């Protein structure tokens, strides 16, 4: 069983997805805390779909091209960025950190070699922790209530 | 490799097993169509297709799709480059639909040079998708689906290419990044300009070990250097290029001792072409290489000389190529 299928977590996700105002309350309260802490430590760009752990605790959104699938072909021979020669290439750091940082689980190290979907720009400026819980960070969006009504088949009238 | 009807002449030549030659055609920094026709006339008979760059180095040029149509008028096979720099996924997909309807069949997917190095550094970087997701998107359109999953009818089917730079660190990761591109659906690969051959051989060894040369056609990128200054500039300034000192020295010593300026330039150019031909000869011996991609930056006249000296003439005629039944039996 995956962690998000666990009873209380599944219940919380379901509750947040069906109560947008409650979710908004948590977004407003969690976002500043999460963003401030991550900004200070990792230079977070608040993309709302965090990949820190899969990239050796290096934020790929710090890349000037905001690449999510590995370094571009312009990395300088000394491992510096093509756009800002004085900076390290984010992906150069990410690769070596993901392979050498202690205490990282093996699956996180292997995530470096996995294909990542493009950024969902609807989530920019939202709390990644909450998006992880509601499933939006993985592209699972609740169906809007209007559409749900349309989709639900009306019970046939008894004759 | 795939078993379906080849969608372009370039794919046909790749599948036939011939040593492929592609070249690069830079659209002009103006609305002058004659430039494209002139450059195409140099490249047409000596290469199988030409890349039409999409505002390379972030300098405004004629659109690659428009230039591709001008190439098609000359009967020359174009490969349009699509970068993620300037357009989001809506614009890219709509451009690709348009390109298909105009007769373009080859696409090369890149991230694109950043605008900071170009002539409009104040513009907004888009980078909505990255190159890996761009490949996946174009291959998705191929199967009849937009990126959001909606159906396209009829679907555009492109021969999709990607690029790889074996000379940029982290070296250990590069073959795996290439595998990611293969998994995303890239069908051919063009590499960065090769000057450092030992490093490239090492990279190709890893690629062959991963079995990627059987899934994609890998075209080695080569190019002639025009002047000694250009060689020095590429070594010191250009990010992602690995030019060994040995090559710079060869370029410098070629023109040494010649008083006449014109004769000196001529001797240096001759040496540049000689180096390029030597590199092509070495590429032909590396296992897993399906062809070469000649990048002659604003020096298209050199390509016929290089191809001829490398012994790659005459080029195969795609109309005469007959693929075995087993290769085209299953439609995609």
pLDDT digits (tens, 9 = 90+) for A39-60: 999 999 999 999 999 999 999 9
Residue B4 pLDDT > 80: no
- Indicate yes or no: CB of B132 within 8 angstroms of CB of A70: yes
In a domain, A87, yes or no: yes
Confidence of residue A32 (pLDDT cuts 50, 70, 90): very high
Q: Contact B306/B233 with Cβ under 8 angstroms?
A: no
- The answer to whether the peptide bond before residue B314 is cis (omega within 30 degrees of 0) is yes
Looking at per-residue pLDDT, the higher value among B245 and B329 belongs to B245
pLDDT over 70 (residue B299):
yes
Partner-chain contact B180 A119, CB within 8 Å: no
Interval B198-252: pLDDT, tens? 999 999 999 999 999 999 999 999 999 999 999 999 999 888 899 999 999 999 9
Alpha-carbon distance A17 to nearest alpha carbon in chain B (angstroms): 22
pLDDT, tens digit, 9 for 90 and up, residues A50-96? 999 999 999 999 999 999 999 999 999 999 999 999 999 999 999 99
Contact residues, chain A, for B84 at CB < 8 Å = 65
Helix axes B64-73, B89-101, angle to 10 degrees: 10
A84, part of any domain: yes
* A118–chain B Cβ distance below 8 A for any pair: yes
Answer whether B165 touches A (CB < 8 Å).
yes
For B169, the closest of A75, A85, A117 (CB atoms) is A75
**Dihedral, CA of residue B283, residue B265, residue B55 and residue A65, to nearest 10:** 70
Mean pLDDT of B85-104: 95
Radius of gyration of chain A (CA): 20
- Same domain, residue pair A65 and A83: yes
User: Is the Cβ pair B130, A66 closer than 8 Å?
Assistant: yes
Is A83's CB within 8 Å of B242's CB? no
A86 and A111 housed in the same domain = yes
Q: How far is A81 from chain B (nearest CA, A)?
A: 8
| Size of the A and B interface in Cβ pairs below 8 Å | 103
Of A79, A84, A113, Cβ closest to residue B176:
A113
Do A105 and A54 belong together in one domain? yes
Q: How many domains does chain A have?
A: 2
pLDDT at B331 (0 to 100): 41
Closest Cα of chain B to A65: distance in Å? Answer: 6
Does residue A122 fall inside a structural domain?
Answer: no
What is residue A135's predicted lDDT score, i.e. its pLDDT? 87
Indicate the residue of A64, A75, A117 with minimum beta-carbon distance to B240.
A75
Average pLDDT of chain B to the nearest whole number: 92
- Confidence label for B326 from pLDDT (cuts 50, 70 and 90): low
How does residue B320 score in pLDDT terms, banded at 50, 70 and 90?
confident
- Among residues A48, A20, A54, which one has the least CA distance to residue A121? A48
Using the Cβ of B117 and the Cβ atoms of chain A, whether some distance falls under 8 Å is answered with yes
> Which tens digits make up the pLDDT trace of B19-28?
999 999 999 9
Check if the beta carbon of residue B299 is closer than 8 Å to that of residue B226: yes
User: In this structure, are A100 and A158 located in the same domain?
Assistant: no
| DSSP one-letter code for B106 | E
Could you tell me if residue A121 is inside a domain?
A: no
What DSSP designation does A126 have?
S
| Nearest-by-Cβ selection for A70 from B114, B173, B183 | B173
A65/B127 Cβ within 8 A: yes
Nearest residue of B to residue A85 by CA position?
A: B239
pLDDT for res B324: 76
Q: What is the pLDDT of residues B112-156, one digit of tens each?
A: 999 998 999 999 999 999 999 999 999 999 889 999 989 998 899
Most A CBs within 10 A among B84, B168, B182, hence the mutation to make, goes to B168
**Residues A107, A55: one domain?**
yes
Question: Do A73 and B165 make contact, defined as CB atoms within 8 angstroms?
Answer: yes
The residue segments making up the domain with residue A10 are: 1-45+127-159
Give pLDDT, residue A150.
63
Give the angle subtended at the CA of B95 by the CAs of B93 and B97, to the nearest 5°: 70
Query: Does residue A31 sit in the same domain as residue A59?
Result: no
φ, ψ of residue B153 in degrees (nearest 5): -145, 120
Q: Are residues A60 and A102 in the same domain?
A: yes
Does residue A142 belong to any structural domain of this protein? yes
Position B110 pLDDT exceeds 60: yes
Q: Which of residues 31-90 of A touch B (CB under 8 A)?
A: 64-77, 79, 82-85, 89
C-alpha to C-alpha distances, B64 to A73, B51, B96, B97, B116, nearest whole angstrom: 21, 9, 11, 14, 21
Structure confidence by residue, pLDDT tens digits, A91-119:
999 999 999 999 899 999 999 999 999 99
Whether residue A112 sits in one domain with residue A63: yes
pLDDT band at A6 (very low <50, low <70, confident <90, very high): confident
Helices (H) and strands (E) in chain A, counts: 6, 0
Q: B67 to chain A, minimum CA–CA distance in Å?
A: 25
C-alpha closest to that of A97 among A75, A112, A83? A112
pLDDT at A4 over 90: no
Rg of chain B's alpha carbons, rounded to an integer? 19
Distance from CA of B318 to the nearest CA of A (A): 32
**pLDDT tens digits, residue range B145-179?**
999 989 998 899 999 999 999 999 999 999 999 99
Answer yes or no: is pLDDT of B1 > 70: no
Q: What was the pLDDT predicted at B259? A: 86
Query: Same domain, yes or no, for A72 and A89?
Result: yes
Give the model's pLDDT for residue B284: 94
B192 in A contact zone (CB under 8 Å): yes
State whether A56 and A105 are in the same domain: yes
Residues 6+ apart with CB under 8 A from A77: B167, B168, B169, B242
Whether the CB of A142 is below 8 Å from some CB of chain B: the reply is no
Shortest distance, CA A49 to any CA of chain B (angstroms): 15
Q: What percent of chain B has pLDDT over 90?
A: 84
Q: In whole angstroms, how far apart are CA A13 and each of A5, A28, A134?
A: 10, 17, 5
Task: Supply A15's token pair.
Answer: 């509750």
Torsional class of B55: left (φ above 0), alpha (ψ -120 to 50), beta (otherwise) = left
Determine the Cα–Cα distance for residues B50 and B295; give it in Å rounded to an integer. 10
Residues A62 and A37 in one domain: no
CA distance B116 to chain A (A): 6
What does the pLDDT read at residue A148?
60
Q: Is A57 inside a domain boundary?
A: yes
Q: What is the mean pLDDT of chain A?
A: 88
Same domain, A104 and A144: no
The reported pLDDT for the residue numbered A63 is 94
Peptide bond between residue B154 and the one before it cis (omega within 30 degrees of 0): yes
Predicted local distance difference test score (pLDDT) of residue A153: 64
Q: Does B177 touch chain A (CB under 8 A)?
A: yes
């Amino acid at each position: 069983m995956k962690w998000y299928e666990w009873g209380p977590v599944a219940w919380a996700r379901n509750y947040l997805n069906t109560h947008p105002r409650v979710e908004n309350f948590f977004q407003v309260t969690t976002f500043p805390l999460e963003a401030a802490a991550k900004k200070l430590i990792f230079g977070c760009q608040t993309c709302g779909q965090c990949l820190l752990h899969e990239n050796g605790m290096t934020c790929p959104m710090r890349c000037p091209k905001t690449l999510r699938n590995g370094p571009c072909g312009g990395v300088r021979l000394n491992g510096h960025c093509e756009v800002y020669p004085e900076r390290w290439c984010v992906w150069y750091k990410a690769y070596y950190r993901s392979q050498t940082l202690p205490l990282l689980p093996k699956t996180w190290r292997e995530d470096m070699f996995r294909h990542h979907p493009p950024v969902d720009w609807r989530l920019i400026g939202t709390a990644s922790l909450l998006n992880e819980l509601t499933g939006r960070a993985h592209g699972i969006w609740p169906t809007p209530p209007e559409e749900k009504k349309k989709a639900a088949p009306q019970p046939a009238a008894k004759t | 490799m795939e078993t379906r009807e080849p969608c372009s002449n370039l794919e046909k030549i790749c599948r036939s097993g011939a040593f492929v030659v592609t070249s690069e055609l830079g659209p002009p920094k103006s609305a002058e169509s004659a430039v494209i026709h002139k450059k195409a006339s140099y490249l047409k008979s000596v290469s199988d297709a030409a890349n039409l760059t999409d505002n390379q180095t972030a300098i405004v040029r004629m659109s690659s799709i428009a230039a591709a149509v001008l190439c098609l008028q000359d009967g020359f096979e174009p490969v349009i480059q699509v970068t993620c720099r300037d357009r989001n996924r809506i614009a890219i997909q709509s451009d690709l639909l348009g390109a298909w309807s105009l007769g373009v069949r080859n696409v090369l997917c890149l991230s694109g040079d950043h605008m900071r190095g170009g002539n409009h550094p104040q513009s907004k970087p888009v980078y909505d998708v990255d190159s890996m997701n761009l490949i996946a998107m174009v291959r998705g359109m191929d199967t009849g689906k937009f990126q959001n999953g909606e159906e396209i009818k009829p679907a555009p089917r492109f021969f999709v290419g990607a690029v790889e730079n074996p000379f940029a660190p982290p070296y250990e990761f590069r073959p795996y990044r290439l595998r990611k591109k293969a998994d995303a659906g890239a069908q051919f690969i063009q590499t960065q300009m090769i000057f450092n051959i030992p490093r490239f051989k090492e990279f190709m060894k890893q690629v062959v070990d991963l079995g990627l040369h059987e899934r994609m056609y890998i075209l080695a990128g080569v190019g002639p250097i025009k002047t000694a200054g250009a060689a020095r500039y590429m070594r010191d300034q250009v990010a992602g290029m690995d030019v060994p000192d040995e090559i710079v020295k060869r370029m410098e010593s070629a023109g040494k001792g010649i008083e006449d300026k014109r004769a000196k330039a001529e001797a240096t150019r001759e040496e540049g072409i000689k180096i390029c031909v030597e590199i092509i000869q070495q590429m032909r011996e590396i296992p897993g290489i399906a062809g070469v991609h000649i990048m002659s930056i604003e020096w298209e006249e050199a390509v016929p000389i290089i191809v001829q000296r490398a012994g790659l003439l005459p080029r195969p005629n795609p109309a005469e190529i007959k693929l075995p039944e087993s290769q085209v039996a299953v439609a995609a």
